[in-house]
């Protein structure tokens, strides 16, 4: 299946469940930006995307780009899992605490190194890999070491 580059996110990411609260996340992916909803009242980000701010219940939310830098909070390797385009097992995953806000975390694969789990506490940055013809966010460790 091929989707043209101006196709909507649900056609570019057919394996990714999405709804009206998080479709803007994937619109960001298409232009290689990691965007999460940020509250216009209390200025906090949250994830997964919701229609109201989970901290102050404001609906003044705007998907706002993040730097993609952070620290590995949790690391694991999946040895089995559902088939998906571009996914081979063992499949390394990291949950990264993003630099912008304590507790704000994003989980994806890590592209450098082997299938060994990434080291918790490592500094990482976001990179974009191609998966089934669409940009997909991933992390790689940076030389900065622990932050």
Please report how close the Cβ of residue 58 comes to Zn ion at its closest, in angstroms. 5
76, 61 contact by CB (below 8 A): no
Of 15 and 50, the one with the shorter C-beta distance to Zn ion is 50
Write b or e for each residue in 69-80: b if 16 or more Cβ atoms lie within 10 A of its Cβ, otherwise e.
bbbbbebeeeee
Q: Does 53 interact with Zn ion (rule: CB under 5 A)?
A: yes
Can you tell me which residue has the tokens 């997964």? 48
Q: Which stretch binds Zn ion (CB under 5 A): 17-25, 50-58, 78-86, 109-117?
A: 50-58
| SS3 category, 27 | helix
Q: How far apart are CA 109 and CA 102, in angstroms?
A: 21
x/- site string to Zn ion, residues 13 to 42, per CB under 5 A? --------------------------x-xx
Of 42 and 115, the one with the shorter C-beta distance to Zn ion is 42
Chain centroid to Cα 8, Å, comes to: 18
Q: Does 55 interact with Zn ion (rule: CB under 5 A)?
A: yes
Interface residue with Zn ion, options 51, 58, 67, 146 (CB under 5 A):
58
Q: Does 50 interact with Zn ion (rule: CB under 5 A)?
A: no
Can you tell me which residue has the tokens 């580059």? 5
Tell me the H-state helices in the chain: 9-12, 23-30
- Identify which of 67, 10, 57, 60 has the alpha carbon closest to the alpha carbon of residue 35: 67
Please report how close the Cβ of residue 64 comes to Zn ion at its closest, in angstroms. 13
Please report how close the Cβ of residue 19 comes to Zn ion at its closest, in angstroms. 21
Q: Which of residues 98-127 bind Zn ion (CB under 5 A)?
A: none
* Interacting residue ranges for Zn ion, rule: CB under 5 A: 39, 41-42, 53, 55-56, 58
């Amino acid at each position: 299946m091929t989707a043209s580059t101006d196709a909507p996110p649900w056609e570019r990411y057919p394996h990714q469940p999405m709804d009206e609260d998080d479709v803007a996340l994937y619109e960001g992916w298409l232009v290689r930006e990691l965007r999460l909803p940020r509250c216009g009242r209390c200025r906090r980000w949250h994830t997964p995307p919701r229609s109201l701010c989970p901290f102050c219940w404001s609906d003044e939310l705007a998907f706002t780009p993040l730097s993609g830098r952070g620290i590995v909070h949790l690391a694991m390797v999946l040895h089995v899992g559902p088939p998906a385009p571009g996914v081979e097992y063992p499949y390394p995953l990291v949950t990264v605490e993003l630099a912008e806000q304590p507790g704000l975390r994003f989980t994806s694969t890590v592209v450098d190194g082997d299938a060994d789990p990434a080291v918790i506490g490592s500094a990482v940055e976001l990179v974009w890999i191609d998966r089934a013809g669409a940009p997909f966010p991933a992390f790689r460790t940076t030389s900065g070491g622990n932050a």
